[in-house]
Amino acid sequence: MSELMKRETTQTPTVERTHEGTMFTPRFDIWENDSELLLQGDLPGVDPKDLDIRFEKHELTIHGHVEPRHAERRALYGEYDVGDFYRSFAIGETIDTTKISAEMKHGVLTLHLPKTDAVRPRRIAVKAGG
């Protein structure tokens, strides 16, 4: 995971824009256990059909769109972003990229990045001598 975090924190992803409008970067937490990395991002108001998640050339990209909420009302104050969003993560060789999966629940996107068998801890059985 250190490679994923190191590259994410030292390189700010940029996207060349070809249309007008707001582009924002959603925040993600990265969790690790023995079998996988979990990426969790808050995407309130995002419909799963408006998400485009791709893995290509060691890079996992998340792109989507948030429609304005309550367009008929005038906002007094707003902290949630609307418009297009983009986030990119560099993925190392320790992830089994064929098994990456994603789920969306209550506005939270969770990406499961399973580790390859070679880097997972394994228990060694001890045989009784005789």
pLDDT digits (tens, 9 = 90+) for 48-66: 998 999 999 999 999 998 8
Decide: 70 and 38 in contact? Cβ < 8 Å: no
Separation CA 1–CA 20 (nearest Å): 35
Across the range 79-95, mean pLDDT stands at: 87
Per the model's pLDDT, the better-predicted residue between 42 and 123 turns out to be 42
Q: Render the burial of 14-51: b for 16+ CB within 10 Å, e for the rest.
A: eeeeeeeeeeeebebebeeeeebbebebebeebeeeeb
Domains detected in the chain: 2-12+23-71+78-119 (2.60.40.790)
Across the range 95-124, mean pLDDT stands at: 92
Residue from 84, 83, 87, 80 nearest 102 by CA? 87
What pLDDT, on the 0 to 100 scale, is given for residue 57?
92
Mean pLDDT of the chain: 83
